[in-house]
Amino acid sequence: MNMQIYKYRKTFLSLTCILAFAFTACEEEFLDTEPKSFYTPSNALNSAEGLNALLNNALTRLNGEYYGDGAPIITENIFSEVAVEGTTDKSGPAQDLNLLILPDASLNSANSNRIGWFWSVYYEAIKFTNTVIGRIDDAEYDSDTQRNEILGKAYFLRAFFYYRLANQFGDIPFILEEVKTARLDFISTTRETVLNKIKEDLNFASTSVPEVANKGDVNRAAVYHLLTKVNLALGDFDGAVTSSSAVINGGSHALMTSRFGSTASNDTKDVTWDLHRPENKSISQNTEGILMAIDRLEFEGNGAIGSGTRVQRQAVPLWWRFINTPDGQNGMSDQPGIEIDQVFEFGRGIGRNRGTAYSTEQIWKDANNDQRFKDGNWVQMEDMVYNAPSLKEAGNSFYGQNLELYLPDGTPLCSDTIRNWYDFPNYKFAIPDPSNVKPQGGHSDWYIFRLAETYLLRAEAHFWNGNLAGAAEDINAVRRRAEADEITATDVNIDFILDERARELYYEEPRKTELTRIAFIFAKTGKTAYNGESYNLENFSTKNFWYDRIMEVTDFYNIGLKTIHGDEYTMSPYHVLWPIPAPAINANTQAVINQNEGYPGAENNIPPLTTIPEPEN
C-alpha cells in the first residue's frame, strides 16, 4: 500500500516537471494578472495518469497545512479558543490582531500567521482541479468508471478548498472553470451560493469515487465526511445525519477500541497512544483514519511534503529556558544525551502554538480515567524535572526533582509562563525525529479526517435537530474509547460538543473554520446559544458566537494581557472572517472583490453574486 503511494507520487513529480510550463506557482498572489501559457505536452493531460498527477498536486497542498515551521494549522488554532501565538520575544505585535491582521499586512509569515497561505495555496489548488474538470473528456480512459473516479476526486478536492475558504473568508470569488487568459474581473460570490454548489458536486462525488482507496487518496467516506460539514454549514441537519451515518455505518471504517499496531505490546500505553503513533496511522489494521496526509522519512521527497511535522518545535513549550529551581538556579537544559535527556523525550519546543488554559486545563477538570489526559499521554509541566547538568555538578538537591511554578510566597520560578509553561498532549506530539539531535517533531502521516470527528459531527447535527439523546450517544462512542465518563442527554449543548472536539481533535481539526461555521449556524437560525445570546447575519461582523466564545473561555484577549515584550493580546468580532488580501483586490481592476466588514476597503463593496454565471470559456 505505502509503496503504491510512493510510486504514484514519483510519477506525479515527473509530470509536475512537465506541467511547469503550464502552471506557474502563485504562492504570493491570488491570481496572476499576466497571461500564462497553458500549453501542455500531449502526454500530460490527455491521460488518466496525467489528470491524476494534477489532482495529486492539489492533494499535496491540502496536506501541507500540517507540516513545516509555522504550519498553517497553527493559524487555525490561534484564531480560536484552543491556542494563542506564544512567541513572546518578537519585536512586532504578533499577538495584537487588531494591528496585525490587515489586508495589506504580511499575511503569510511563519513568524506571525499564514492567512495568505490559505488564500494563495488553496486557489492554486482550485486551479488544478478546474483544469481537470474542464478537460475531463479530453483524456482516454480504461472505462467510464475510471473517468468518473477522477472527476469525483476533482469535485471533492475543489469542494474541500472552497469549504475552507468560505468559512475563513466568507464571500469569495467562485471560479469553476479553467482560467486560460488573464482576468481582472472577478466578483465575490456569497458563501451560501458557494456551499450549495459544492454540496451538489459532493453528491456526484459520493457515487463516483471508490469506496476503498490507497491511504492518502480520496475515498467515499471522505466525501461523505466533507458533505456532512457542508450540510451543517447550510443548516441541513437531516442531511448531515444522513451523510455522517453513511460513513459510520458504511462498513469500511470503525473506531479503534482495542490495542493495535507496533505499540500494542507496550502495556504501559493504551489505544489512544497506538492511534497516534506515526507507524500506526495508515496501516490497514487502523480503520479509523478516513483521509490521511502521507509523510515518510524513507520516501524520496518525504511524500512531497518536505520538512516533517515540526510539531514538537511549534506546539511544545519552550521548557528548556527561563525556569529556575526554588533556590534561584537555572534548572533546565536542552542538551542531548545527558543523564536526564528531556529534549529527546519532549522535543525542543519554542511555544508558538501555545495551548490556552481552556484547552490544557478547563476541559480536563472532570477527566477522571480519560486516556487522553492520563500520565504519559498528557504532560503537565510539573511532570518534568530539573535536569541541568550544572545542578548535579554543584550537588544541588533539586536536580531530578519535579518542577515547581511558585515559591511558597507566590514568587514565580518561570519568567514567562505564556511561552515556557503550559501542558500539552504528548501522545499527539511525540513524533520521532531522527534527523535532528534536538528533536523538533519528525516525519509522520497525519489525520485529515478521522471517524471520531464523524461521530462528533453527527452529534452536532442531532443537537441542532433537538435529538439530545442521539447526540449524547455519539459523543459517548468517542468517550468510551478513551475510557472517559459517559454523559447524558441533559449534558449536551454546543459548549460540550466544542469541548469534546477540543479534547479529541486538538491540532487535527481546523478549529477556526469549524468555530466560524458554528457561528454562522447560530446567525442563520437565530437559535439562542448556551450563553443566552442570539445572533443574526445582518451584523455578523460586529456580534457573533465565534468572538463571544473566545472571550468567554480564554484569558488572553479579554483581560488586557501583555507579553513580556509588552505586546497586548487583542481581537475583535470582525476577525471571525479573515481579510481578503489587498493584492487580490487591487489587481482586480475591472470588477470588485469585496473586503470583509471591519477591514479597510469594505466601504467599496458591492452586492455579491447569489447565482453562478455561465462559464465564459
**Residue appearing with cell numbers 447526540:** 471
Distance from C-alpha of 150 to C-alpha of 55, rounded to nearest angstrom: 8
**Grid cell digits, residue 549:** 466564545
Q: How confident is the model at residue 22 (pLDDT cuts 50, 70, 90)?
A: very low
Task: Convert the pLDDT of each residue in 201-214 to its tens digit.
Answer: 999 999 999 999 99
| pLDDT at 24 (0 to 100) | 36
Q: Is the per-residue pLDDT at 611 higher than 90? A: yes
The 3-state secondary structure of 236-256, one letter per residue:
CHHHHHHHHHHHHCCCCCCCC
Lowest mean pLDDT among 12-16, 369-373, 384-388, 568-572: 12-16
Compute the mean pLDDT over every residue in the chain, rounded to the nearest whole number.
92
Residues sharing a CB contact under 8 Å with residue 434, sequence separation 6 or more, in sequence order: 297, 442
Mean pLDDT for the stretch of residues 96-104: 93
Average pLDDT over residues 174-196: 96
pLDDT for residue 19 is more than 60:
no
**576 DSSP 8-state letter:** G
Write out the E strands in 114-272: 172-173, 188-189
**pLDDT surpassing 90 at residue 279:** yes
pLDDT band at 23 (very low <50, low <70, confident <90, very high): very low
Give pLDDT tens digits for 64-79: 999 999 999 999 999 9
Share of the chain above pLDDT 90, in %: 86
pLDDT at 449 over 70: yes
120-132 pLDDT, tens digit per residue, is 999 999 999 999 9
pLDDT at 351 over 80: yes
pLDDT level of residue 173 (50, 70, 90 thresholds):
very high
- Mean pLDDT (whole number) for 135-146: 96
Model pTM score: 0.93
Give the pLDDT confidence score for residue 615 in this predicted structure.
67
Q: Which string of b and e fits 165-193 if b means at least 16 CB within 10 Å?
A: bbbbbbbbbbbbebbeeebeebbbbbbbb
**Higher confidence at residue 299 or residue 306?**
299
**CB burial string 22-60: b at 16+ within 10 A, e below:** bbeebeebbbbeeebeeebeeebbebbebbbbbbbbbbb
Alpha carbon distance 301, 9 (integer Å): 9
Q: Following DSSP, what letter does each residue of 147-171 receive, concatenated?
A: HHHHHHHHHHHHHHHHHHHHHHTSS
For residues 573-582, average pLDDT: 98
Mean pLDDT of 509-526: 98
Instruction: Specify the pLDDT at position 614.
Output: 76
Confidence band, pLDDT 50/70/90 cuts, at residue 112: confident
Residues in the chain, overall count: 617
- CA distance readout (Å), 525 to 12, 233, 237, 241: 45, 11, 12, 18
CA dist 76 and 574 (Å) reads: 16
Q: Is 609 helix (H, G, I), strand (E, B) or coil?
A: strand
Question: Is the Cβ–Cβ distance between 495 and 285 less than 8 Å?
Answer: no
Give the helix, strand, coil percentages of the chain, each rounded to 5. 45, 5, 50
Could you tell me the CA-to-CA distances from 439 to 275, 309, 476 in Å, in that order?
Answer: 21, 11, 36
Residue 17 pLDDT greater than 70, yes or no = no
pLDDT of 359 higher than 70: yes
- Taking a C-beta distance cutoff of 8 angstroms, is the pair 418, 563 a contact? yes
Q: Taking residues 315-321, what's their average pLDDT? A: 98
Helices 144-168, 220-234: crossing angle, 10 deg rounding: 40
Task: Please name the residues in contact with 230: beta carbons below 8 A apart, sequence gap of 6 or more.
Answer: 159, 163, 195, 198, 199, 202
Q: How confident is the model at residue 617 (pLDDT cuts 50, 70, 90)?
A: low
157 closest CA partner among 182, 112, 127: 127
